[in-house]
Structure 1
């Protein structure tokens, strides 16, 4: 299975980015000493050569440090045969003793479609268990449920081109500027060229909101009321497409009646959303009078206890106006992971079977016959939250976790981590040697291939299938996930059904199932790809589905002329559930905690955390709070807060942000026990779920905040190892050029020998101590170059950190050393400040210098510094700096 170095491609390999659902094409050129040079693929129709900050830094994430390279049983290295035998035996034993309800597999949108297909086939078709779910349950399952309820199938109607030809783009709960930046830049280009209007509906003042013509910072959870009000307005103003509604839909009257109960008037809508009536009226008028409207929604809609109804309320407005399936118009779900869509296609969710089929008797029989499955699951399995609750109760006794980190990402993550330790049989397929889930002591660890080594396909948000091709040799004994599943299946007696030799063979079977007894009755059909030979599969160009056998392969939209996948062929309008009165507030938890992503990090940082560029923008776990709330709670911007919910607490750096809504908090999800002492935000999130989708509500956990103060703060930088700190110390780790950095806050004295255990006798140590001010600064030089430094003071030392993080291994001038040790900051101020543009490595100080030199706008800043000229996700921050500079100049 291993690729010999001589077989590695000499020319750049066309592959696909492993981050968000945009699905950008990447050109990867292996380097002679490992790693790769990364560039955007100008021929890929998703990105046309552009990459975001994360994609641009992929070459920095390919090192083998921290990789799991060999199979292990009980933390002891074993052969693959021993690990696979033990994996199979554990599931066989559990099945015989407790039945299929006692086994489960938890998958990931990071997997390739072929991996997903193999796992789903084994568990649902041959082991009889539908307990097959995925971390995609946490990010887009409410969209799946909303699509199926309205359309009869999980169909994304439109294409990316619609986002460029629309005249109005409505973002709902989507910070696309940070989370889908390449696609967002395509939309901004359309705005500049065509005058496209942008409306952002989001409680937070995000980077996306800063570019909007209209921002509606509605009360959290009130999206349903807003779109119910819009439906009423469209009806009352005669803006419905009566012909489309009559010919292609059903249930409109009931949906409108319910909308009138929830939001009978514009004023009532504004009150329910806590918005100015004039702003609501402006949005309603824009939507009503603009034919080409695309409504884009993401986690702010999906991650809610009413997520499916939020999706339904949006879909109702598009169906009522016939704005669906035609160029430049329609609802559009922006998926968060690279292969969330592929997982949906093969049935990687517990309530799906395969090829967009559900657990209807006819579908169960069809898949059983296609697979020749001996023990077919005949009912839906447990969704993610219920699955881990069943683990905690001891009902699920054997679990295989593949390519994800639920001990960080699941709601009530501490309880999930504790539950994992109760399993009788716990298998983890991973490409890292250490994370929070592995910390729960799985019995078996299987080393998986990582991006750059994987071979298969992914599907992006517009239904476009792309190849992910290997360009690096699999290190150690790593293997593809589909291969590991097939080997376990063979040991369980199913070798003939899992006899694939290549991922292309898995894909062909998947494609054939999609067309099996289809005849146009199911939306997902890639039968035209079922006969690809090895060469065609290897050279497969990005292609949208459906790709039916014998049909022309063109850009495809759905539903412009009806043709829905319901029993009647008509779309279902949804009468959303009445909005229940708010529960009596719990005085202990007066805030609502909203969790989400930041610009330069990804999930639990096992990949992006390796990049020094991506670790330089927002370095520490933080909580955003409105300045007035911060003042009332005694919090200081840049200080610390203890954030507490019914499920746990964390300690986070405070960011007082005027764009944060009063009464709410925002904290990012990325930090974990590997990267921070007190940053596991998933441990705080409650387990309330949407009743239709089972998706957890990650946007409204009741929470409290309180100030926390430390006697001293500081940082350490080293090319070596870091020592252990006092358990009460707050810390966050970050990758820096040529080493590692640690930011900390503590009430204890931190000594040089404690933090740097590998000091050598010949090291030159230069110190500065001011005991009266509590300042201590030390620099360690080895062979004349900076090998480590420790700075401690009463408050943050951001300038020194941002200067020195890039100087490890370098020789410093005597003036630089004196300035740093005496003043605590670099003499070269332009080089200081946090990194603003991660793509080109441009810090804040360089941009400020360009603005002081007369750069009047972001374009001029880009011309002078390159900042903002690649993915554009830093442009909102640059524009804020320009505004601040103008305000300062006129003050």
Structure 2
């Protein structure tokens, strides 16, 4: 029997402060964590010395310490639901993969990995699958967020290179934000831009987005283009630049190729500007303003994200943007360039080490024979894969069809996030071997696993991540792993050893893994490849532990950089000719269109305080109060057309699936368009996975799914009864027509709706409630009202209220009743169904400072407040991360309008 030793990573000492990196988006913010190891408590602050955030953090980052709990953690290996030893679990995984490969070949197995992995984890997963199993079948959930950007970069630059730096956002005279709700999805970058604009008011900000989001709070111009029309817009811009002598002819001639072909295609798309404006859905004067500003402003940065990438034309959209920067020579110099911002903390690191199925490690490619030979020789991998593997959607299609018979899913939740998610769910149910390594025990995907491997969580892991500006930062372990959890790199290496590849996976630490990867990037490089970490090829453990945040490239022959690094400022690219490539692109409509059956266009994305499938953010009660239930945003006129009421429930149906969510009326979406967040899953709600609605249409080049354009229909769903329930522990499986759960201080708050009559729903909920020492009850059967509380030793254990309908009334105060002793005032509030003064601050608006809507409105009325600064001074709202500031402005405007009326 093979024994896999594990030496715990050195963690912080009691009451020490550790510099590490945030667990969330691709901004890669530095964190100062003050650690109390005995109590497993961590106080989080922004690291003012880290170049990415300079001390700023968003609401999610500030709440990280509250997520470091043992609630819901996967603590021990499990095989077929039974706890087992690590050795048995590893043997089961290794033997299952070996047997499958022997019988069906290496392409019958696959890994599906994640931007939540550290670079060292990613590197070993790729090395095992491509290098030693001999298949390209490893892909990542980053395929869903930025693979179109990768493909566009390669077509234009010859490499997957992000040329710019965050400081460009502060040095630019114009910033174009397209397909990016930066205020909610990358809040720290938004705050940096906002501060720069306040210091330099002449800086112009253009927001291109079908929705009017909080990002528009700093916009000088908002272009609410029709979904999917980005290529037509930027082709129109390129045509305008040529017609108005705004092309940098010298740069184009000296440093680019294929300009004429790209311009011809752009001009064919552009046509007459009034016609283009109508096609885009914007006013002609708006289009003229944008084109004119762009032509006149040399220092222009175009920031783009999922609204560009997540499309069947995503790669073409990226190249349409890059074409405009190449045409004006605005690339690689301070304050200018195309800038892809990534969604996950290590999406960039995964791209670097070959986490995508169509790439080799270290930014090398299958279609370059010299790259393939270099990787083969470096790894001593006689079985190195010779061709790309299956991309994410194709991979799970292969699971569904039975071609892939064993899959290992690491740190991600494809049953919740992949398009046509119900099909993915069934595919995993039918797959002979499903292995999942995760730090969370109960997710949509772990429920389908044959083998569960407990992975270390964010605060327990040590390694590196790369942010959106190519800056490598250390993630340092703060706490020892809970239970038997292990780092992902160790788990991968242990399985590899069990499969017989011990010599190639014999690492004493994550530092050894990183140094090997760095040596690979530098091998036979000599400036021919963008990614070069030669300076890190022979790090000692102390060197590794003390690595400062630093941008690559870091070639051995050059001095270590002091400050920012940009690429392509010299006009030299990584194409065979050394020139930047224009790519001819034409507008293509989305793969599927609205019709009389599915007349609305569904867009999806993140909300302010939540992250991915809420397995982490859902643990912090203050992050759950702002938008507590799954919802669909729809324009009031469309709501009238489809008989939808604000706060009521509705069924959303596409050609793929169905969801049931709350209706939110807003004029921030255009007529004919709706928006639904991506976060809810089967653990947090009854039926709210937006990915179940999304089709499997993908970009033909990148393989990235079309998440921003799904035809749907929306119809009201009418309940007979509703319930609100608070409990100190999660309910056992809840059989209700609709439910949504969120964390509150001391427990959980459920909102439930049913086709049963109120009395029947009351009986059902009573059967779920464990009896306490005392039961308090109030009933008004004629009105369909029932309220019950179960008290143990002077504390409220579980309580619920049933009514025919609650409507839009705020019940967030119910969650406060679980804190402390069950006082008489709390009992009166619960049984009357009305909050007392202590519990009446209203729906949460500011997550950082825990300030509610009623508190803000009362301050505005009582103090005559008419500015955000005054409201912040009075209530502290908005003095944390600042993400709620646009909403504070909206609340002031509404209150002033009410007064005027």
Q: TM class, shorter-chain normalised?
A: over 0.9
Secondary structure of 1:714's aligned partner: strand
Q: How much does 1:752 deviate?
A: 6.7
Q: Look up the match of 1:428.
A: 436
Select the residue among 814, 818, 838 that pairs with 1:808.
Answer: 818
Secondary structure of 1:743's aligned partner: strand
Asked if structure 2 preserves the Cα contact closer than 8 Å seen for 1:722 and 1:755, the reply is no
Residue deviations 1:245-266 (CA, integer Å, cap 9, x gap): 1111011111010011111232
2:274 paired with 1:267:
yes
Q: Look up the match of 1:165.
A: 171
Name the stretch that deviates more: 741-750 or 691-700: 741-750
Select the residue among 383, 390, 398 that pairs with 2:406.
Answer: 398
Q: Closer, same or farther in 2 for the Cα pair 1:495/1:814, shift >3 Å?
A: closer
Q: Look up the match of 1:29.
A: 34
Q: Look up the match of 1:377.
A: 385
Q: How much does 1:2 deviate?
A: 5.5
Name the stretch that deviates more: 228-237 or 865-874: 865-874
Q: Separation in 2 of the partners of 1:559 and 1:715?
A: 58
Residue deviations 1:824-864 (CA, integer Å, cap 9, x gap): 32232883321111111111111112212222211111111
Q: How much does 1:721 deviate?
A: 4.6
Q: How much does 1:5 deviate?
A: 9.7
Q: How much does 1:809 deviate?
A: 3.2
2:92 paired with 1:86:
yes
Residue deviations 1:99-155 (CA, integer Å, cap 9, x gap): 121111000000000000000011111111101100000000000001001000000
Q: Look up the match of 2:883.
A: 873
Q: Separation in 1 of the partners of 2:71 and 2:256?
A: 56
Q: How much does 1:783 deviate?
A: 3.5
Name the stretch that deviates more: 329-338 or 829-838: 829-838
Asked if structure 1 preserves the Cα contact closer than 8 Å seen for 2:772 and 2:790, the reply is no
Q: Look up the match of 1:182.
A: 188
Q: Separation in 2 of the partners of 1:761 and 1:856?
A: 49
Select the residue among 700, 708, 717 that pairs with 2:726.
Answer: 717
2:703 paired with 1:698:
no
Q: How much does 1:55 deviate?
A: 0.6
Asked if structure 1 preserves the Cα contact closer than 8 Å seen for 2:722 and 2:754, the reply is yes
Q: Separation in 2 of the partners of 1:753 and 1:705?
A: 29
Q: Separation in 1 of the partners of 2:738 and 2:900?
A: 40
Q: How much does 1:872 deviate?
A: 1.2
Q: Separation in 2 of the partners of 1:7 and 1:220?
A: 48
Q: Separation in 1 of the partners of 2:797 and 2:657?
A: 38
2:557 paired with 1:557:
no
Asked if structure 2 preserves the Cα contact closer than 8 Å seen for 1:752 and 1:790, the reply is no
2:656 paired with 1:647:
yes
Task: Give ranges in structure 2 of 5+ residues lacking alignment.
Answer: 1-5
Residue deviations 1:617-642 (CA, integer Å, cap 9, x gap): 11111111111111000101111110
Asked if structure 2 preserves the Cα contact closer than 8 Å seen for 1:595 and 1:669, the reply is yes
Q: Separation in 1 of the partners of 2:150 and 2:455?
A: 28
Q: How much does 1:290 deviate?
A: 1.1
Q: How much does 1:793 deviate?
A: 2.1
Q: Look up the match of 2:287.
A: 280
Asked if structure 1 preserves the Cα contact closer than 8 Å seen for 2:772 and 2:791, the reply is no
Asked if structure 2 preserves the Cα contact closer than 8 Å seen for 1:150 and 1:312, the reply is yes
Asked if structure 2 preserves the Cα contact closer than 8 Å seen for 1:799 and 1:826, the reply is no
Q: Separation in 2 of the partners of 1:102 and 1:584?
A: 35
Q: How much does 1:367 deviate?
A: 0.6
Q: Look up the match of 1:544.
A: 551
Q: Separation in 1 of the partners of 2:11 and 2:361?
A: 39
2:641 paired with 1:635:
no
Q: Separation in 1 of the partners of 2:574 and 2:10?
A: 49
Q: Separation in 2 of the partners of 1:402 and 1:518?
A: 31
Q: Look up the match of 1:74.
A: 80
Q: Write out aligned runs for 1:848-867 (5 A).
A: 848-852=857-861, 853-867=863-877
Q: Closer, same or farther in 2 for the Cα pair 1:191/1:719, shift >3 Å?
A: same
2:755 paired with 1:744:
no
Q: How much does 1:10 deviate?
A: 3.6
Asked if structure 2 preserves the Cα contact closer than 8 Å seen for 1:248 and 1:570, the reply is yes
TM-score (norm 2): 0.96
Q: Closer, same or farther in 2 for the Cα pair 1:494/1:819, shift >3 Å?
A: closer
Q: Look up the match of 1:291.
A: 298
Asked if structure 1 preserves the Cα contact closer than 8 Å seen for 2:762 and 2:786, the reply is no
TM-score (norm 1): 0.97
Q: Separation in 2 of the partners of 1:644 and 1:484?
A: 40
Q: Write out aligned runs for 1:348-497 (5 A).
A: 348-359=355-366, 360-440=368-448, 442-497=449-504
Q: Look up the match of 1:500.
A: 507
Residue deviations 1:548-595 (CA, integer Å, cap 9, x gap): 113121321011221100000001101013435987753211111111
Residue deviations 1:471-496 (CA, integer Å, cap 9, x gap): 11111111111111111211222211
2:846 paired with 1:837:
yes
Q: Separation in 2 of the partners of 1:642 and 1:407?
A: 20
Q: Separation in 2 of the partners of 1:585 and 1:615?
A: 33
Secondary structure of 2:460's aligned partner: coil
Q: Separation in 2 of the partners of 1:581 and 1:91?
A: 39
Q: Separation in 2 of the partners of 1:581 and 1:428?
A: 34
Asked if structure 2 preserves the Cα contact closer than 8 Å seen for 1:410 and 1:682, the reply is yes
Residue deviations 1:340-369 (CA, integer Å, cap 9, x gap): 000000010001101111112111011111
Q: Look up the match of 1:890.
A: 900
Name the stretch that deviates more: 588-597 or 308-317: 588-597
Q: Write out aligned runs for 1:72-151 (5 A).
A: 72-151=78-157
Name the stretch that deviates more: 528-537 or 841-850: 841-850
Q: Write out aligned runs for 1:586-605 (5 A).
A: 586-605=595-614
Q: Closer, same or farther in 2 for the Cα pair 1:7/1:648, shift >3 Å?
A: closer
Q: Closer, same or farther in 2 for the Cα pair 1:153/1:623, shift >3 Å?
A: same
Q: How much does 1:54 deviate?
A: 0.6
Q: Separation in 2 of the partners of 1:346 and 1:244?
A: 32
Secondary structure of 2:205's aligned partner: strand
Q: How much does 1:274 deviate?
A: 1.2
Q: How much does 1:268 deviate?
A: 2.6
Select the residue among 318, 326, 329 that pairs with 1:319.
Answer: 326
Q: Separation in 1 of the partners of 2:732 and 2:347?
A: 39
Asked if structure 2 preserves the Cα contact closer than 8 Å seen for 1:8 and 1:473, the reply is no
Q: Closer, same or farther in 2 for the Cα pair 1:347/1:692, shift >3 Å?
A: same
Asked if structure 2 preserves the Cα contact closer than 8 Å seen for 1:764 and 1:782, the reply is no
Task: Give ranges in structure 1 of 5+ residues lacking alignment.
Answer: none
Secondary structure of 2:324's aligned partner: helix
Asked if structure 1 preserves the Cα contact closer than 8 Å seen for 2:229 and 2:589, the reply is no
Q: Separation in 2 of the partners of 1:787 and 1:580?
A: 54
Q: Look up the match of 2:737.
A: 729
Q: How much does 1:753 deviate?
A: 7.3
Select the residue among 341, 347, 356 that pairs with 1:340.
Answer: 347
Q: Separation in 2 of the partners of 1:6 and 1:230?
A: 53
Residue deviations 1:658-686 (CA, integer Å, cap 9, x gap): 01111111111111111100111111110
Q: Look up the match of 1:522.
A: 529
Secondary structure of 2:842's aligned partner: coil
Select the residue among 810, 831, 836 that pairs with 1:821.
Answer: 831
2:676 paired with 1:667:
yes
Asked if structure 2 preserves the Cα contact closer than 8 Å seen for 1:233 and 1:266, the reply is no
Q: Write out aligned runs for 1:294-305 (5 A).
A: 294-305=301-312
Asked if structure 2 preserves the Cα contact closer than 8 Å seen for 1:170 and 1:200, the reply is yes
Q: Separation in 2 of the partners of 1:621 and 1:16?
A: 29
Q: Separation in 1 of the partners of 2:657 and 2:769?
A: 36
Secondary structure of 1:807's aligned partner: helix
Secondary structure of 2:818's aligned partner: coil
Q: Look up the match of 2:625.
A: 616
